Amino acid sequence: MLALLAPGQGSQTPGFLAPWLDLPGVADRVRWHGTVAGRDLLTAGADPDFPDVVDTAVAQPLIVAAGLATAPLLGDLPMGTPVAGHSVGEFTAAVLAGALDPSAGLALVGERGRAMAEASARTDGGMTAILGGDADEVERAVSAAGCVVANHNGAGQAVAAGPRAALERLAAAPPAGARLRPLSVAGAFHTELMAAAQRVLADVAAGVSAKDPRLPFVSNADGAVVDRGSELVARLVAQVSRPVRWDSCMQTLGAMGVTAVIELPPAGTLTGLVRRALPGVRTVALRGPDDLDEARALIAEFAHVDVSPLLPWRVLVAPVGGTFRAEPVVPGDKLPEGTEVGRVVSHRDETAVRTAHGGVLVEWLAQDGDPVAPGQALARLHPETADVVA
């Protein structure tokens, strides 16, 4: 299985977009995305001397615009290709999955960037990368300093965030065996210091119409596969002040059987993490137009998979990993949208499994008591929605 990844803030470099602008349609799409987001993203991405490429209010819409402007160059993705993004990259993934219209996605990101920049200006916060060390020891040291782990990136990498004074305490008492590197960011992203920005985004997102994603969307919150548009948008909003669990996203991709990934521009960070966390998975980072041929060849390798036996069926998947506990529904039952057909039980909690669409249960693909992985198929439904009533 192939997956498509979208990077987050910090992956951009001055002038990274310039080589892409000569390709058909890219400059036009970036110009439109900038108009929607309220920023001159063409100049911000192409000018190597642009002074504000690291400015949160500029960088966030720029990164999303870059991904959305270059993704069409890949051609059609194989049906069922999972998508995942890191932090603001989740907005890129949400659009590519079909949950958000591109203009809605860029409008939300524009507000997100402005709100987070304003929240950062009002709070004295920052972020520090932690490279290496035991994961439990890292958590203890970060907590003792008064910070939180804002990014669980996996592959021996985490990012602590919090007030500057707390980060100074962490620097004075670092986790054993770890190297610390302060990051050039404006604030403590993905912490409670961003609560005001989250409220701003929530107000704007309340008017957004979201669709259920056409492609599996792997969420930063916990690595769950989200199949309802309303839940996806709620997670995008909550993510502003909550930790990014990219480690869980990679675990889900591995459990789903992903064997290759393509990372959209500005690429390199996520493919590097995948190579370390999922050895053997093939990676293509779209650092420039010269990487397109390799990416297209990889897509062509997966295009031959025949999914016609699954159509017009809808497959219900496990949102998280754990033990599946089925409700007493049997093949032939008509299930309205939102019907709970079971729960996935882990050592920490239980997650309901609900039908994203109405339909008739055709067959169970997992049985009560089976261990299941995130994204694993649980049941097959036929979309006979006309006869299904709530």
In this structure, is residue 292 part of a structural domain? yes
Given this model, what pLDDT does residue 18 score? 96
- Are 201 and 109 found together in one domain? yes
Per-residue pLDDT at 313: 54
Q: What is the number of structural domains in the chain?
A: 3
CB 249 within 8 A of CB 223: yes
Same domain, 130 and 258: no
List all residues 6 or more positions away from 235 whose beta carbon is below 8 Å from its beta carbon.
90, 219, 220, 221, 226
pLDDT of residue 122: 93
Distance CA 358, CA 34 (A): 38
Same domain, 138 and 196: no
- Residue 290 burial by Cβ neighbours in a 10 Å radius (0-12, 13-18, 19+): exposed
**Same domain, residue pair 25 and 144:** no
Q: Please state, in angstroms and as integers, the Cα–Cα distance from residue 125 to each residue in 66, 162, 370, following that order.
A: 28, 5, 45
User: To which H or E segment does residue 125 belong?
Assistant: strand 125-132
CB 371 within 8 A of CB 323: yes
Q: Supply the pLDDT for residue 377.
A: 75
What residues contact residue 350 under an 8 Å CB cut-off, 6+ apart? 343, 344
Q: Is residue 42 part of a domain?
A: yes
H helix runs in the chain, sequence order = 26-37, 41-46, 56-70, 89-96, 102-122, 135-145, 164-172, 195-205, 229-238, 246-255, 269-277, 292-302
Name the token pair of 104: 């809605």
pTM for this model (two decimals): 0.81
- For residues 129 and 159, the answer to whether their CB atoms sit within 8 Å is yes
Of 148, 182, 216, the residue at which a domain comes to its end is 182
Boundary-marking domain end, from 245, 270, 302? 302
* Half-sphere exposure for 333 (CA within 13 Å, toward CB): 16
Amino acid 308: pLDDT: 42
Question: Which distant-in-sequence residues (6+ apart) come within 8 Å of 6 by Cβ?
Answer: 64, 67, 83, 84, 85, 86, 89, 90, 92, 93, 96, 263, 264
Question: Tell me, what's the pLDDT at 310?
Answer: 43
In-domain check, residue 104: yes
Domain check: are 176 and 256 in the same one?
no
Q: Which residues are catalytic?
A: 87, 190
Mean pLDDT, 10 residues at a time, the chain of 390 residues: 94 95 96 95 93 89 97 92 96 96 96 96 94 93 96 94 96 95 91 96 94 91 87 94 94 88 97 95 98 96 62 68 91 89 88 84 88 80 46
CATH number of the domain within which 203 lies: 3.40.366.10
Q: What is the pLDDT of residue 305?
A: 60
Question: Which pair of tokens denotes residue 226?
Answer: 């989200």
Structural domain span for residue 132: 124-182
Report yes or no: 228 and 246 within 8 Å, Cβ to Cβ. Answer: no
Specify whether 100 is located in the same domain as 212. Answer: yes
- Which residues, at least 6 apart from 339, have a Cβ–Cβ distance to it below 8 Å? 329, 354, 355
Strands of 148-154's sheet in order across? 148-154, 157-163, 125-132, 178-182
What angle, 0 to 180 degrees and rounded to 10, lies between the N-to-C axes of helices 26-37 and 102-122? 50
Structure tokens at 5: 């990844």
In angstroms, the CA 320 to CA 336 distance is 22
Q: Are residues 383 and 277 in the same domain?
A: no
Asked whether residue 226 falls in the same domain as residue 259, the answer is yes
Q: What is the pLDDT of residue 376?
A: 76
State the Cα–Cα distance between residues 80 and 76, nearest whole angstrom: 11
Same domain, 137 and 268: no
CATH number at residue 344: 2.40.50.100
Choose one of 266, 286, 302: the last residue of a domain: 302
Token pair 């100074």 in the structure block, residue: 168
Classify residue 346: in a domain, yes or no: yes
- Do 86 and 153 reside in the same domain of the chain? no
Residue 187 inside a domain? The answer is: no
Can you give the pLDDT at residue 384? Answer: 55
Residue 45 lies in a domain: yes
Same-domain check for residues 104 and 130: no
Domain with residue 167: its CATH number is 3.30.70.250
Same domain, 297 and 329: no
Helix, coil or strand: residue 253: helix
